[in-house]
Amino acid sequence: MPIWNRKYETMERSEMEQLQLELLQATVNRAYRNVPFYHKKFERLSVAPEDVLSLSDIQKLPFTTKDDLRDGYPYEMFAVPLREIVRIHSSSSATAKPIVVGYTRNDLKHWAEQTARVLSAAGVAKDDVVQIAFDYGLYTGGFGMHYGAERLGASVIPVSSGNTERQVQIMQDFRSTTLVSTPGFALYLAEVMSKLGVSAAGLWLRVGLFGGEPMADKTRSEIESKLNIVATDNYGISAVMGPGIAGECELRDGLHVNEDHFFVEVIDPDTLQTLNDGEEGELVITTLTKEGLPMLRYRTRDVTRIIRGKCKCGRTTARIAPVRRRTDDMFIVRGVNIYPGEIEAILHDIEQVKPHYQIIIAREAGLEQMTLKVELSGDFIADQMHRLVELEELIKHRVHAVVGLTPQIKLVEPKTLQSIDSAQRVLDNREI
């Protein structure tokens, strides 16, 4: 749909590459000068900022991982003094150390520009009423899309996540035309609507922007038919920026990357070599304009491929294919990132159970449910029902405290799960 920033979104390849080279060099120079972490990493690899003389020279630079950000908790990786940071967000994980990201005033300005482009590409304009059902708070999703929608001049409803029945009410009464949420929430919303007897045909909703978790083709068409909208996919990751990194246009032939702000590469996660355009591998992102927390070659663990060439919509920016899987074992339930290792660590600390477990994810009545099967310890005597219930509550409570989501617990007999292999550790029945 309308191209929000014609200058950058339809830029000639050679001009874009010139701009990216300039911005990359400036970013590298600032990161080297202001962030001791990068300074040390450069020295260890014997590279200097002046070794980056072309875009492909980025391959000489070190990677940044989530662990690096954790080790730098909370502010070590910031490239400006804290007083220049005007916003701080953080990852949901309450394990060891979450990751903390900071934005300068200019970063927030750029963020609004980036998400405005993503919204505009999906077909949102100033006359739209945008219902943002992403969590507002430490999570980047809500605020990021909020700024872009405001920049477009749309009417923004910052309803945040949860309270689904009320969301349906708002959608009807406030005449929302646009839904911004996870694809999982959209399906659940449709389910609640049918329970309440609300027909999609009676709504004003016409477009949805979905992110935060993978959206399978099947999920997309289900959302489209149940909510009677055009469903678009967009990509963001908090460590790099949040939403606004890339998004689909109405042709939905890949997600357009905001290349004047982000440099994308795809690498082989095992050899760490950069792959050719079109080859599938792990997405690696370098920020080009970020001041507060510049990221050099951040390993996203998300699997995609880069699509070059002009899109029929007129944009010349590189595109990435929708992300469907990851290179690690992280999975997402209701927009919450969960690592099996976190669950295992919790179970280790509870003496009544063994750290043998299985996670089953399913969609029940539209809502994603995580069930945790846990093997009881041989010494545990389940002589009384209330002891079992107490144990279930304890596990629920601990899991919620760490990952931010309450699972259903199924306690099973000793020695029934111990031989389970890692491929069966997480059973995802959602058909992603």
Residues forming the site for other proteins (CB under 8 A) = 15, 18-19, 21-23, 25-26, 29-30, 33, 49-50, 52-54, 80-84, 104-106, 291
Q: Residue 49 or 142: which CB sits closer to other proteins?
A: 49
Asked if 327 and 268 touch (Cβ cutoff 8 Å), the reply is no
- Rounded to a whole number of angstroms, the minimum distance from the CB of residue 89 to other proteins is 20
- Rounded to a whole number of angstroms, the minimum distance from the CB of residue 350 to other proteins is 41
Token code pair at residue 372: 């945790």
Token code pair at residue 321: 């294919």
Q: Residue 78 or 357: which CB sits closer to other proteins?
A: 78
Q: Please name which of 369, 432, 366 lies closest in space to residue 226, comparing C-alpha atoms.
A: 366
- Rounded to a whole number of angstroms, the minimum distance from the CB of residue 316 to other proteins is 17
Q: Residue 15 or 431: which CB sits closer to other proteins?
A: 15
**Long-range contacts at 278-281 (CB < 8 A, ≥ 24 apart):** 278/305, 278/306, 278/307, 279/305, 280/304, 280/305, 280/321, 281/305
- Rounded to a whole number of angstroms, the minimum distance from the CB of residue 247 to other proteins is 24
Q: Residue 104 or 161: which CB sits closer to other proteins?
A: 104
Rounded to a whole number of angstroms, the CA Rg of the chain reads 23
Residue entry with tokens 């996660």: 269
Report in angstroms the alpha-carbon separations of 35 from 57, 76, 115, 293.
20, 8, 27, 9
Phi/psi for 178 (5° steps) reads: -130, 135
Q: Residue 77 or 180: which CB sits closer to other proteins?
A: 77
Q: Residue 52 or 152: which CB sits closer to other proteins?
A: 52
**What is the distance between the alpha carbons of residues 308 and 319, in angstroms, rounded to a whole number?**
6
User: Cis bond leading into 74, ω under 30°?
Assistant: yes
- Rounded to a whole number of angstroms, the minimum distance from the CB of residue 48 to other proteins is 8
- Rounded to a whole number of angstroms, the minimum distance from the CB of residue 17 to other proteins is 9
- Rounded to a whole number of angstroms, the minimum distance from the CB of residue 328 to other proteins is 33
**What is the distance between the alpha carbons of residues 140 and 244, in angstroms, rounded to a whole number?**
10
Q: Residue 53 or 196: which CB sits closer to other proteins?
A: 53
